[in-house]
Amino acid sequence: MLLTPDDVGGKNAKFLKQRARQNVVFELGFFFAKLGRKKVCALHKEDVEIPSDIQGVIYTPMDKAGAWRVALARELKEAGIPLDYTKVI
């Protein structure tokens, strides 16, 4: 799942934060329910607000240096998904 800053929202106009679109957060919940906590990894841009009501999901920030690629590869390997590590970096 990929959370990108496509919307803005908050309690009031003074405290607006960048958020993923509501349908993306809904889909994250769907995957969480369908696949289970151990099989969901949400990649997110650094400035995106993380949903607080979905605990147990792995949130991996998409840092500018690209370290998220290795973190995601590790998660895929742990889940038993084969991949070519030479293409990760």
Run of H or E residues at 1: none
Most confident of 3-7, 11-15, 52-56: 3-7
Query: Could you count the other beta carbons within 10 Å of the beta carbon of residue 21?
Result: 13
CA–CA separation, 27 and 30 (whole Å): 5
Residues 6+ apart with CB under 8 A from 53: none
The rounded mean pLDDT for the chain is 83
CA–CA separation, 89 and 85 (whole Å): 7
The pLDDT of residue 84 is 84
Predicted local distance difference test score (pLDDT) of residue 34: 93
Q: Count how many residues are written for the chain.
A: 89
* % of the chain at pLDDT higher than 90: 1
Neighbours of 45 (CB within 10 A): 16
43, amino acid identity = L
Q: Using one digit for the tens of pLDDT, what is the confidence trace for 44-82?
A: 888 888 877 666 677 788 888 888 888 888 888 888 888
